[in-house]
Each structure stands twice: as structure tokens, then as C-alpha cells.
Amino acid sequence: MTDHSAVLPAAPQALTRTETPFAPDRHQPPQRLQFTGAGGEYFRIWIVNLLLTVVTLGIYSAWAKVRRERWFLRNTCLEDSPFDYHGQPLAILKGRAVVVLGLLVLNGIGKISPLLSVITSLALFFALPWIITRALRFRALNTSWRGLRFRFCGSVRGAVQVFVLWPMLIVFTLGLIVPYVLVKRKEYVFNNLRYGDAAFSLRLPAGKVYGIYLRASLLPLLGVVGLLAFFAMKLPAVGVVLLWASILAVLPFVLACTANLIWANAALGLHRFESDQKVGELYAIWFKNILLSLLTLGLYRPFAAVNLWRYRVERLSVLPAASLASFVAGQREEVRILGEEASDLMDVDLGI
Amino acid sequence: MPEPVEAWFFDGRSSQPLAVFLSLESGCLCLRTRLSGGGEGALLMPPIPVSRVAIDEPLGPTRKISIVPALPEDVPAYCEARQGAAMAALLSAMGHREGLAVRWQGSLAKALAACAGLVLLLFAAYFWGLPPLADRLARWVPEGASHALDAAVIDSLEKADLLKPSRLSRQEQARIRTGFEKLVWPAGTMDRPGIELHFYAAPRIGANAFALPGGKVVVTDEIVKLAGDTPPLLAVLGHEAGHVVHRHGLRQLAQASVIGVAVGLWLGDFSSATNGLSTLVLQNRYSREYELAADDYSIETLRRSGLSPGLLAGMLEKLAAAHGGPPAGRGGEADALERILSTHPPTAERIRRIREG
């Protein structure tokens, strides 16, 4: 092997969690993520995707999804290296065919027999943890940075706890446990995520999450009061609309604050993160997105998606504890086994 | 010979970037190390034949050139280089051509043409593609399912106290049934769709007859009284039989499902309120066509039995009067709005159509 040290920055030994206590390396500046894509570019991809999808009666949608994910990830750069997406269209097509078939059947069943529809919905609810775990594994394994793949190692048992058992308590606690369930979910996803041989970790302070939700619920509480008032005035429709509007109005606040909180408490090995989304700016983006989407009957949607993604990406920084060149691929065996699974995994479109 | 392209090499085993030069020599891609002074170092690995090089679509600021591993256990490595003239020259020297989708995206004009093409396609699908598709889907629904659906609907109407036991005598009901059978199945026809008449007293619904997807037709005592005589009643029953024979109920169901899924895909969400509303508007157009088709079926069966289509028009007028007010049809904005949102075409329009033949 030829000597490469002439061109390479000095690569320190990869730090492991047990070796040194966490101390930010002051020689490593924070690395802000960048997004190099423009809305117009994505619009063209989106429209061609849509046309080909309609012409092929939806079959092309799997290839369209791959192109969309790749465009977003390859335009997202960290230290001048873009991320990448490796999903195989055929695996995605399998997953989508199952989903669409299932929806048509559910739609039909719902109209014929409400009882049957309830039974199938319950069955789906219990199958959810398994579906979610597979989707997370697929997505992680097909995302990479600098040639190393991410991995999701969550067990179905963990998913059952977080997506079935904890949510069942929501009814008993009259909804007070919702923020805590969210904390558990995020922790489940993060703590089972790996990059190369390093592991992500997240320890969210539940108190702060409750703080965010408490502040956010002030407006919807007014909405509930308004709902009751309008019910009394025999105008229930207005009351419902106002309640929905009040919930929608606090969403950007909740999303920005929780994103900042999550990244502040997350780590990858010893590297830390920082997210500095501003609530005001996110409101402005949401407002612009919604207004222009309505005015253009939905044609602005690709631009809206790019606006949102760009904001969230460019507000995220990595605080390296060591050179970002020091990651190493995970154990060869594990990577190979998971690699074989990836071709079988169905990709299910879930908004996690 | 294209000049060497500056690139970064990643070996897939670590996140360490390696500065390299890419060049093409005798059909093989050569990677040479890039020295800090800018000079070319030695070959990093044996030259790679172009057949083992995979070039990704241009997405993002850099172009990715992957090296397909020789053995399946090997880790895939790749190079990344900025897009530019040098890169383009190297790619064309390697004989690479961009895919169809990429070329279409390249120009805004083509993208707009795609947009227009899409809109035209959607219109065509809605007007010409969806009806036959719904018809196909309707044929696939097993009889047992549609009978179960009918039973469920009648059950819920009975529970809601909207349908009560009929006050008509058995002879009366038998007489109407015989007349109906003669109308719809002229003697000798073996192919009988399963249509059953069910009589109920329905003071809260009033004079009405409606067909359910599985073949049951509900007839209220009130409409029997309104008709006065059997032939006008048979005209209305013929209309309902038309709905069953043409499978309108099931086709409506199928269309609703397909439109529901399509609107959901466009809006990106399967259960929003807007989805429901737009679905409703889109479906109503089909309901109107079905009503007119059922009218035609009734006219055909009436003529076949030697009765006048005017009987149907007469009943429609009586029904409109019974349900309040003269038939609408003064034209103008209110009418147009009613036309878009309602499931039945304005009665005056139907009456005129029947009388004009």
C-alpha cells in the first residue's frame, strides 16, 4: 500500500465511549450541514415523476421515490460530502403494492361492514410495531454518508412497548402521558440507530418536553373554550374549525422546540449536535408554504417541501469530538447479514 | 485525452476521504493519488475496466462514480467529484449517456410540457378511464358481499325507525310484483337479474323508491299511494331496476374507493376532511349520469310493454310536487351550484328530456 499521509489530514485513533470522558475538542470547529438544492430543480424532478407515475398507473412511483430521496439526501452535505440513498425500487414497489391493495380492501370493507373494518383496523394496530421496525431498518440501511451506512437495530419487542403498550396508557391518563410517549418513541429510534461502528444515543429530559407541550397547549385550550361557546350558540362547525386552527397554529412552535431539544440531547459516539431552529422563522416558512400551495392548487408543494427540508438541515450542526474522518465501518458480519435483509425489506411510507 | 478530474475516494471501510485524480486510459478508469502540491502520485489500485464502473444520476453538487466490487464480499468503494466541464468530458469519453428521465428534467420547457401532459392525462382518465374500471371492479364483487351490504343498509334503516312494516295487503304487493316482472323480464327471458321488491311504510321518508347495490328495491307505501295506478308506479320501479341492472350501486362504490385513493395520493394524506369533500364533488358527476341512464332503462322497458314514457315524467312531476315546491330549473347561478353539488340532476331537466323522447 502506498503511503497516503502526504495528502491526508492527520487521522486520530477512533475514540470509543469507554476510553475518554466527553470533552469537546476545541480544535474541531462545529460543522453546519448544508443544502445545495433549489426548489425549481426539485419541481422538475417532481413533475416528471408524477407524469411517469400516472402513465404507468403507479408502478413508476417506486423509482420516483428513489429519485426523490436521492435528490434530497445528495444535496444535503456535511463537511462537503453529501449523504446518499440506496433504496432499491423493486423492494419499494413490493411494499407499496401491499399498502395500496390493503387500502382498497379496507375502504371497501369499511363501506360493507363497519364491524369488520374495526376488526381489521385493530389487527393492523397490533401489526404496526413490526411494520415500523422494518421500515426503520430499511430506511437506515439505505442511507449512507461517505460510504458508510446507517443501521437500525431496534427489536420488535422494543417497538411493541413504544408503539402499542405506552400509547394504550393515553386513554387512562386522559392524554397527559402523550409527551412522555413521544419521549419514549424518539429515544427508541435514536438509541437503536448506528452509523458505522458508532452508536447514536438520546436521553430526553421529560420535564422539558412537558414544558414545551404545556406552553403549546394554551392556544388549543382557548380553542376548546371557543368550541364549547360555539356549540352553545348552535354553530358547531365554526367551533370545530377554530379548534383545528388553534392546534395547527401551535404546531410549528412544538416542532421547532422539540427538534432543538432532541438534537441538544443526542450524541453519536462522543460527537454532539446542535439545532438552532427559530420558532418565528418556522412560522414564516409554514405560512408561505400553505398560502402558496393553496393559491397554486398544490403545484407549490415541491417548493414547500424543499423550503422545509432546507431550513431543518441548515439549522443542524455537528459538534465533533474528533475528526469526522475517523468513523469506521461496523462489524463486517453484521453489515453483510443486514445487507441481505435489505433486499427483502419492504419500504412502507410512514411519517416517523 | 480529457484532463484528470479532481475527486475524493472513499473505500467504504471508513469515512476517511482520499484525494485522487480520475483519468481514462485505454478503456479503464485510473485513480491516482493527489499530492498536496497538486501533482499526481502513483496508482491507487489497478485500473478498473469501464464495465465495472457505475455512474449515478446527476443529483446534487457532486457526481458519484461507484466501483462495482469484483467479489460479493468486497466492500463497494466510490469516488465523488464536482460537476463541471472536466467531469462531463470524462463521462462522455467513457461513453456514458444520461437516462430519459434526466434529459426530460433538464429543461424547464420539457418540464412544463410534462405538466400539461399530466393534466390532459388526468382529465382523460377521469372521463374515459374510470367508468370502465369501476365497471370491472363492480363485477368482481361477490354476490354474497353485495347482499350483505343490502341487508345491512335495510337493517340500519329499520332500526332508525325510518322503515316500518308495510300497510299494503299481500294481494296488492303480489299484483305490483307481477306487473313489475312482466315489465322488466318480458316472457321468455332466462337471464333475470336478482331484483326483489320490498315494501315498507315510511312516513318519515315519504314517497320514494330506491335500489340497493345487491338487487333489493325498497318501495314505500307512500309512493304506491301517490302513483294511484299501477303503470305510473311501474315506470318508477323500472327506473330503479335500471340502477340494479347496470350495477350503479357497486360501480359507485368502486369509483368512490378509487377516487378516494387517488385524491389521497395527491393530497398526500388519506383521511383529511378536504379529501372527503373533493371526493364527494368528483363522485357526483357519476351519480347524475347514472340517473339519466336509469331513466333511459325505464323508458325502454315502458315502450317494450306498450306503455308511454310520459308515465315516468308524470310521476317525476308528482314526486317533485310531493316533496315541496315546483321543480327547480329557473337557470342561473343557484341552479349551476345545485347541479355541481347534488346527486340528482334537476328534476325539470329530466322531465324535459323524457317528454322530448
Q: Which three cell numbers stand for residue A6?
A: 502526504
Q: Which three cell numbers stand for residue B173?
A: 304487493
Distance CA B199, CA A201 (A): 69
Window 145-204 of B, Cβ < 8 Å to A: 145, 148-149, 152
Strand partners, A272: A267, A319
Nearest to A6 among B35, B59, B267 (CB): B35
Q: Which three cell numbers stand for residue B350?
A: 329530466
Q: Hey, which bits of chain A come out as E strands?
A: 31-32, 34-35, 76-78, 81-85, 143-145, 148-152, 193-195, 198-202, 266-268, 271-275, 316-319
Q: What is the DSSP letter of B291?
A: H
pLDDT of residue A311: 96
Which site among B14, B55, B79 would you substitute to test the A interface, given the most A Cβ atoms closer than 10 Å to its Cβ?
A: B14
C-alpha pair distances (Å), A277 with each of A29, A35, A190, A259, A285: 20, 15, 20, 8, 12
Predicted TM-score (pTM) of the model is 0.68
Instruction: Write the DSSP string, B242-278.
Output: HHHHTTHHHHHHHHHHHHHHHHHHHHT-TT-HHHHHH
pLDDT of residue A309: 95
Nearest to A328 among B14, B41, B122 (CB): B14
Neighbours of B117 (CB within 10 A): 14
Please give, rounded to a whole number of angstroms, the shortest distance from the CA of A264 to a CA of chain B.
Answer: 24
Cross-chain residue pair A81–B76, CB shorter than 8 Å: no
Q: Which residue of B has its CA nearest to A14?
A: B14
Phi, psi of B79 (to 5 degrees): -120, 150
Inter-residue contact B206 to B185 (CB < 8 Å)? no
- The owner of cell 467479489 is B71
pLDDT of residue A76: 95
Cross-chain residue pair B14–A324, CB shorter than 8 Å: no
Distance CA B317, CA B236 (A): 12
Phi, psi of A319 (to 5 degrees): -105, 95
**To 5 degrees, how large is the angle CA A113–CA A118–CA A120?**
95
Short-list B101, B270, B55, B259, CA closest to A46: B101
B chain contacts of residue A71, beta-carbon cutoff 8 Å: 59-60
Nearest to B261 among A36, A54, A103 (CB): A103
Instruction: Decide if B36 touches A, using CB distance below 8 A.
Output: yes
Cross-chain residue pair B152–A44, CB shorter than 8 Å: no
Q: Which residues of chain A are under the pLDDT cut of 50?
A: 1-22, 333, 340-345, 349-352
Window 204-263 of B, Cβ < 8 Å to A: 253, 256-258, 260-261
Instruction: Decide if B44 touches A, using CB distance below 8 A.
Output: yes
pLDDT of residue B8: 92
Cross-chain residue pair A7–B36, CB shorter than 8 Å: yes
Distance CA A90, CA A67 (A): 13
- The owner of cell 323524457 is B354
Please give, rounded to a whole number of angstroms, the shortest distance from the CA of A277 to a CA of chain B.
Answer: 24
Cross-chain residue pair A196–B14, CB shorter than 8 Å: yes
Nearest to A54 among B64, B80, B122 (CB): B122
Q: Which residue of A has its CA nearest to B258?
A: A104
Cross-chain residue pair B152–A45, CB shorter than 8 Å: no
Cross-chain residue pair B145–A326, CB shorter than 8 Å: no
Query: Could you read off the pLDDT tens digit of each residue along chain B, which spans 357 residues?
Result: 668 889 999 988 888 899 999 888 888 888 888 888 878 888 888 888 888 888 888 888 888 998 888 776 677 889 999 888 888 888 888 888 877 767 766 677 777 787 788 788 878 877 777 778 777 777 777 777 777 777 877 887 788 787 888 888 888 888 888 888 888 877 655 556 678 888 888 887 778 888 877 788 888 888 888 888 888 888 888 888 888 888 887 777 777 777 766 666 665 544 444 445 555 555 555 577 788 888 888 888 888 888 888 888 888 888 877 775 444 444 444 444 444 445 556 677 788 888 876
Distance CA B218, CA B209 (A): 6
Please give, rounded to a whole number of angstroms, the shortest distance from the CA of A330 to a CA of chain B.
Answer: 8
Q: What is the DSSP letter of A328?
A: B
